[in-house]
Each structure stands twice: as structure tokens, then as C-alpha cells.
Amino acid sequence: ERVGADIEAVRHGIGSDPRIGWHFIYPGAGYGGSCFPKDVQALERTARQHGYGAQVLEAVEAVNARQKTKLFELIERHFAGHVEGKTFAVWGLAFKPNTDDMREASSRTLLQQLWAAGAKVRAHDPEAMDEAQRIFGQRADLVFCETPEAALDGADALVVITEWKAFWSPDFDAMKRALRMGVVFDGRNVYDPKEVEDAGLAYYGIGRGRSLRRLGH
């Protein structure tokens, strides 16, 4: 990002090496779930118990925790710190598609940051809304919406944090009409930035140099 590079070009270059491949090198807003976080932590703790500092595992943990704050960092910088009073449509709550599991989900970090800043959330997830209701309870600053489109109604900006297939091909022109401030924060790099921007929306992705250029970096 800082040098203006696009992670998609980097990803394709790295993935062309057959020893690495394409399957798991997707940038995003951090990983969650019940297994991977727990396993990394357990391996790092076991190493420490045996007098060995597993620096790579320690770094994985630290970077993932930092990555979960990336979307809010972009949001705060886009709005020049004036997040209070804004309403955000959030597409996705589960830690990955095709589950209702929200354990260690990046959405939990984002929502807590938005609420702490005085923002409201209109959220949609195809499966995880009941689980989110159980976790967060009734809140005046959280509305669950039956469709992705309903989440956009009255929202200033959209944040995509789980790459459900239902979110892959939205009507960007309709999105532009619905969002009061016309900006998309794409936490999984689902969208083509040019397609979004051609619809008149501002676009921010993960590891995409154009995002920081727009912020003046």
C-alpha cells in the first residue's frame, strides 16, 4: 500500500510459483474461527514452555490482531476522525462464509470499534445474525437486516467483512443511490476497484495502494 502497489498483482506473482500456489494467499481483515487462532496460540505457548521463542508464530498472532483493526483505520482516516453519528452497513458477521460461527471473527473487532467511536451499524449475514444477537444482545446502535440491500438503507458507507457469494455481484449503481456518503470498505477484496469507482463510489481495499493514495499517502 505505502509504495502504491496492488496486492492482487503481488498475489498473482507469488501464486505462480507452483511450490506456493493460489489457494490460500488472499489478503483480508484478519482470520478467525475456532481452530486456526487456537492452534497458532497453542503452538506458540508450547514452544515457550520448552524455552523456545517461536518468533514466526508470535508475529502471526500480532499481525492478525493488527489486521483486524485495518478496516476501522481506513474508515477513521477517510472520515478524518469524524465517525461519530455515522451509520455503517456491514455485510458479513461470520468469520468465514457458509457458517454462523463468529468465534474470533473480524466483524466483532470492527463492530466494537465502530460503537466505541459513536457509530451505528446496520448488519446483514446470511446465517450468523442469530449468533450475533446472542453475542451482542439488544442494542440501539445495531440493527439486523433481512437482505444486503436493506442494510444499505440509511447507511453512510458499506463495509464488507465476510466474502459470502451473495455479496459478490451487487448493483453498484443502486448502492450509490442508497449510501448517503458513497464509500465502500472492502475487507476481503471482493470487488474490482475500477468497477466500484466507475459507479461513483469511493473504494478502499486491503493491500491496494490506491486506497492510501486517496488518503494522501
Active site residues: 35
Q: What is the 3-state secondary structure (H, E, C) of the chain?
A: CCCCCEHHHHHHHHHCCCCCCCCCCCCCCCCCCCCHHHHHHHHHHHHHHCCCCCHHHHHHHHHHHHHCCHHHHHHHHHCCCCCCCCEEEEECCCCCCCCCCCCCCHHHHHHHHHHHCCCEEEEECCCCHHHHHHHHCCCCCEEECCCHHHHHCCCCEEEECCCCHHHCCCCHHHHHHHCCCCEEEECCCCCCHHHHHHCCCEEECCCEHHHHHHCCC
